[in-house]
Amino acid sequence: MSETLNGMLEQRFGRSLPAAGDLAPAQADRLAALAGHGSVRAFADRPVPDTLVELVCACAFSAPSKSDLQLRDIVVVRDADRRAALAGLVPGTDWLRDAPVILILCGNAGRLVAMMERAGLPFPNAHADQLVNAVADAAITLGWLQAAANMAGLGGCAVSGIRENVDEVAALLELPPLVVPFAGFALGWPAEEAAITARLPLEVTLHAERFGSGDDPAALAEYDRRREALGQGNWTAKRTAQYSKPKNHAMGAFLKRAGFTLG
């Protein structure tokens, strides 16, 4: 319903959007499934059937792909020891050990290179765009994976922290050259209702015709006040504290060893 959709948008952005009231109920419901997204980090002690994981992944792979290259793969991790090992490689994610399934979204630039080799053709595109294409495909697929999980009644949370120890993750999953682990995704049945996290106001992130002159400090300050009122903490303070410390410092060296040419 448009009322439900607008309620979610108000929680997300601090205001409703007029167009939500113009939609047919079925259209509003579909958009509400996106606008109402919330990450799940607490999972019920209930198995997720292999067939359902396959279905959710199939829906995720139905996402758009740059030039139909399909440079993305998912590694499904169910083994308890392997899941524990992954959780141990991601700082600050003890909850990850309780996820019955961990999915690893990978950008697979090797698929295109191998295809060219099989055709006996040279590959003249070994440069930074090769990495961008693979990571873009993985990122788009991750978004659709979250949406598919929610629509199936499951829940999950993206885990970018797998890149903190990228070499160990790649070795654990036996990733071949030109495959980069982009993000993990904890998947399971929610043990609690997911909360809607407030996002930056559209006045900051939605640009008309050309990019603006930069984030408006007053708008950011108001956003921080709204987050604090919702019990979600001061966004600016949290993010600056997070990125005041070195992060993912091994990624550049890993990409070179994996065969990517970034020039």
d(CA 147, CA 37): 8
Question: Which residues, 6 or more positions from 199, have their beta carbon under 8 angstroms from its beta carbon?
Answer: 12, 13, 205
Distance of CA 180 to the CA centre of its chain: 14
Residue where a domain terminates, one of 192, 226, 245: 192
Query: Which tokens sit at 109?
Result: 């630039």
Residue 1 has pLDDT above 80, yes or no: no
pLDDT digits (tens, 9 = 90+) for 37-50: 999 999 999 999 99
Domain match, 86 and 21 both: no
Domain match, 74 and 127 both: yes
pLDDT band at 2 (very low <50, low <70, confident <90, very high): low
What's the pTM? Answer: 0.94
Q: CB neighbours (10 Å) of residue 106?
A: 26
Considering the domain boundaries, does residue 123 fall inside one? Answer: yes
CATH number at residue 123: 3.40.109.10
* CB-side neighbour CA atoms (13 Å) of 92: 5
Q: Tell me the average pLDDT across 21-25.
A: 92
Give me the domain span that covers residue 178. Answer: 38-192
Domain match, 11 and 113 both: no
pLDDT digits (tens, 9 = 90+) for 210-241: 998 889 999 999 999 999 999 999 999 999 99
Considering the domain boundaries, does residue 244 fall inside one? Answer: no
Domain match, 114 and 2 both: no
Q: How many domains does the chain have?
A: 2
